[in-house]
Structure 1
C-alpha cells in the first residue's frame, strides 16, 4: 500500500465503522422485550449472526431479494432454534428491526479518532451494500455524517459490491483515480477483491476473523489502521 499516493479513502460501514453486532443485539433485546418473546437473546444471536451473513452473501449475489433477506434470516434462525413463530409475528419482528436498528449509535473502538485523523489529509467517503434509508440514518445518528464527502449505497447506485460499477461510480463522483483511492472494509469478498480488481488500493479491517491472505494489508483494529497513517 502506497500511502503517499492516496487522496481519497472509501470506507465500508457495517462491521467496519458501525458496530453491527452490538447495535443488532441491542435492537433484538428491545424487540423481544416489547413483544414479550420468550427467546433467550444470547441463544438467538448464536444462530442469527452467521445466518444473517449468509443471507447477505446471497443478496449480494442477487440470489435473493431485499424482502427475502429481511424475512429469511429470521425464519432460518427460529427454525434452527426449533422455535415456532407465526408469520404475522415474524413480519412484525422484521419491521421493528429495520425501524429500530439505525437508532443505536455504537461504533467500533477508535472510529472517531481514526476519522478525525484522516479527515485532515484525505477526502473520505462511504461505499455500502446496506439499504439506502437505513444506512443514511445510521450515519447521521452515530455522528459520522460530517466526516464524509459522499455516501454511496448499492440501492442508489444500482450495483452491489464487489461489482466494479459501484466502485467506478464512487471514484468518478469523488474525482479520484484507482491508484489514488483506498478501500477500507471488513469483507474480503465484497470490499477487498472488488477494489483490487479495479486497481484501487485496499486495506482489510478483519473485524470478524476471515481467513488470512496476502492480497493486501490486514489490520484487526481501527487503532492499528490509524498507526499506518501517522
Structure 2
C-alpha cells in the first residue's frame, strides 16, 4: 500500500518552543490586578501549581485539558470567578510569552513533501499555539489538518487521536507515516494505531527503536522515499 499521508509532530520536530513560566505567571498576576482582583502573587502561583498537577494527572490517562480549563481551576482555588473573556486573555498572554522557532529546512521539507503527500499535524498541547503559529507564518497552507490535543481532550499515544486524523482525511493506517521526536508518545502512539513511524533523534540518543531514524527534519523526504519503495 502506497504512502498517502504524513503526520508530523510539532514541538521538537518542526519547531523548538520555550516559555519563562515565572514571567508568564507574573503577567497573569498583573492582568488580574488590572481587572480589579487584588490577588497575592505567591498565592496565585500556588494555585497555578495545583492546577498544573491536576493537568499532569489527566495527562497520565492519555487525556488532555485546555489551557482555559487549567487556569479556570487555578482561579477557582482563589475564589476568582472566571469568564470566557478573562480566560481568553490568559491564553493570549501565553501566546505572547511562548517563543517558537522553526528548525532549519522546515519550509523546504514541507514544500517537497506537499508535492506528493497529504500532510497533517498532531501536537500534544493545552494551547492552540501550534495552529496559531502555522497560520501566522503561512505554513498552514501545507496541511490538510492540524490537531492539538486540547481540541479532542485526548493526547498521544492514545490511538484515538491518530484515528481521528485518519478518519477526517479518509486515509487508512497502513497508508500513513507519523514523524516525531518522543518515543513514548509519537512512536508508541503510531505503532498502537498501525501507522509506520519515523523518529527524529536530534541528539543521537540511544533508544530501543530499530525503525527509521533521522537527526533532522531535512532528511525526511529521503526517508519517506525509501519507505515508499519498501512498501509491498
- Matched with 1:220 is 215
Task: Note the alpha carbon deviations across 1:158-213, whole angstroms, 9 max, x for none.
Answer: 31111111111110111111110000011111111011111101001123555322
Q: 1:96 to 1:142 in 2, by over 3 A?
A: same
Which consecutive aligned stretches of 4+ in structure 1 deviate over 4 angstroms post-superposition? 27-32, 54-59, 62-71, 94-97
Q: 1:164 to 1:55 in 2, by over 3 A?
A: same
Q: Secondary structure at the match of 1:20?
A: strand
Q: 1:174 to 1:208 in 2, by over 3 A?
A: farther
Question: Structure 1 residue 68: deviation in Å?
Answer: 11
Q: 2:175 aligns with which of 151, 173, 180?
A: 180
- Matched with 2:10 is 13
Q: 2:198 aligns with which of 203, 217, 223?
A: 203
Task: Report if the CA contact (8 A) 2:212-2:223 is conserved.
Answer: no
RMSD between aligned alpha carbons? Answer: 4.0
- Matched with 1:111 is 106
- Counterpart-to-counterpart distance in 2, 1:55 and 1:109: 36
Q: Secondary structure at the match of 2:208?
A: coil
Give structure 2 stretches of 5+ with no counterpart: 30-52, 72-89, 226-232
Q: 1:201 to 1:56 in 2, by over 3 A?
A: farther
Task: Report if the CA contact (8 A) 1:31-1:97 is conserved.
Answer: no
Q: 1:124 aligns with which of 99, 119, 125?
A: 119
Task: Within 5 Å, give how 1:121-200 maps onto structure 2.
Answer: 121-200=116-195
- Matched with 2:60 is 61
Question: Structure 1 residue 123: deviation in Å?
Answer: 0.2
- Counterpart-to-counterpart distance in 1, 2:70 and 2:5: 33
Q: 1:167 to 1:210 in 2, by over 3 A?
A: farther
- Matched with 1:99 is 95
TM-score (norm 2): 0.65
Question: Structure 1 residue 133: deviation in Å?
Answer: 2.8
Task: Note the alpha carbon deviations across 1:91-131, whole angstroms, 9 max, x for none.
Answer: xxx867613145x5520111111101000000000111113
Question: Structure 1 residue 144: deviation in Å?
Answer: 1.8
Give structure 1 stretches of 5+ with no counterpart: 36-53, 72-93
Larger Rg: 2
- Counterpart-to-counterpart distance in 2, 1:69 and 1:110: 35
Task: Report if the CA contact (8 A) 1:56-1:69 is conserved.
Answer: no
Aligned residues: 192
- Counterpart-to-counterpart distance in 2, 1:64 and 1:162: 12
TM-score (norm 1): 0.66
- Counterpart-to-counterpart distance in 2, 1:224 and 1:68: 37
